[in-house]
Amino acid sequence: MNEPDLNQSGVAVTVSGLYKSYYGEPVLKDLNFEVARGEIFVVMGPSGSGKTVLLKHLIGLEAPDSGEILVEGESIRSPGVMDKFRMAMVFQSSALFNSLTVGENVGLYLTEHRLKPSDEIVRIVRDKLALVGLEGQEDRYPDELSGGMKKRVAIARALVIEPQLILYDEPTSELDPLRSVVIAEEIFRLNRRIHVTSIVVSHERELAFGIADRIAIMNEGEILLVGTPREVRESPHPMIREFLAADFKLKEEKTSL
């Protein structure tokens, strides 16, 4: 297996004054934060707080009503910027193409853009699949895979782009705890090996505290706090305390019964 390109460096991302509304209803309210190169930045918050919408803005799938997203100081809406920096996204549903094999899914970017000869694409696909622990799965179809394997194929597909920024949308949703740990380890390991900037959206606390360099807590389209896992844990903000305590409360109630 080829070693990944260790010189591949992540990019810095700056979000300033990001505002978005749908049918007059604000979904993102004046968001401001920065993500450093090579950092794992986790955006956490309850369902419906605008996390996925934020990710879609970061990769250019949605345009904001106002505000700016800068990658290495350049607005992503400026012509050519999205081509200049390599960005990839791992979707919540994995978004694999069911009519294509795992190998074809992973190699799609290279095949469609004709970036490499076909034998080299085969080799790259094999390497990327090995990187996420899916050696020899090239010929299987997505509907033959488990949820966790699909997520890993989606990660391999993102890695083929050799991204400087990877966005993960709820990477451990719909997975059992064991597989969640595997995916979390994968994200952490990749970040440390290839120094890619990773922005992870999740509402799972174990994942966030396990891998994050910094965490942003979102609620109803607003960022309540950006800080290290420790700063978040110690935050006196009532909503954050409530959000973090939710499952401990349940455990306490269960033991008192």
Partner 1 sequence: MFQNIGEILVLFWRTVRSLSLTWRQRQKVFDQLYEIGNASLLMACILSAFIGGVIALQTGPVLAERGLNNYIGGLVGVSICKELAPVMMSLLIAGRIGSAMAAEIGSMRVYQEVDALRTMNIDPIHYLVLPRLVAISCALPILVVFSVLVGWIGGAIVSVTNHAINVSFQGFFNNLRDVVDTGDLVNGLFKSFVFAMVIGVVSCHQGLQTIGGPRGIGRSVTKAVVNSIVMILILDYFLTRFLMYFD
Regarding 76 and contact with partner 1 (CB under 8 A), the answer is no
Is 49 one of the binding residues for partner 1 (CB under 8 A)? no
Partners of residue 33 on adjacent β-strands: 15
**Cβ density class 5-21: b for 16+ within 10 Å, e for less:** eeeeebbbbbbeebebe
* By the rule CB under 8 A, 253 interacts with partner 1: no
Nearer to partner 1, 108 or 181 (CB): 108
Describe the strand order of the beta sheet including 165-169 as a list of residue ranges: 87-90, 165-169, 197-202, 40-44, 214-219, 222-227
Span from 23-31, 33-41, 79-87, 207-215 in contact with partner 1 (CB under 8 A): 79-87
Neighbours of 115 (CB within 10 A): 14
Q: Which stretch binds partner 1 (CB under 8 A): 13-21, 39-47, 56-64, 193-201?
A: 56-64
Check binding of 212 to partner 1 (CB under 8 A). no
Taking CB under 8 A as the rule, which mask of x and - marks residues 155-194 in contact with partner 1? Answer: --x---x---------------------------------
- If binding is defined by CB under 8 A, does position 112 make contact with partner 1? yes
- At residue 203, the 3 state secondary structure works out as coil
For residue 81, give both structure tokens. Answer: 């910027």
* Residue 237 near residue 224 (C-beta atoms within 8 A): yes
SS3 call for 171 = coil
Q: Least distance to partner 1 from the beta carbon of 84, Å? A: 12
Distance CA(44)–CA(245), nearest Å, equals 14
Taking the CA of residue 140 as centre, how many other CA atoms within 13 Å lie in the half-sphere pointing to its CB?
A: 13
CA 221 to chain CA mean position, Å: 18
Tell me the number of residues near partner 1 by CB under 8 A: 22
Beta carbon nearer to partner 1, 62 or 222:
62
The least distance separating partner 1 from the CB of residue 115, rounded to whole angstroms, comes to: 11
Residue with smaller CB distance to partner 1, 62 or 213: 62
Residue 142 beta carbon to partner 1: minimum distance, rounded to whole angstroms: 10
Pick the binder of partner 1 from 81, 108, 130, 182 (CB under 8 A). Answer: 108
Interface residues with partner 1 (CB under 8 A)? 56, 59-61, 82-83, 87-89, 91-93, 95-97, 108-109, 112-114, 157, 161
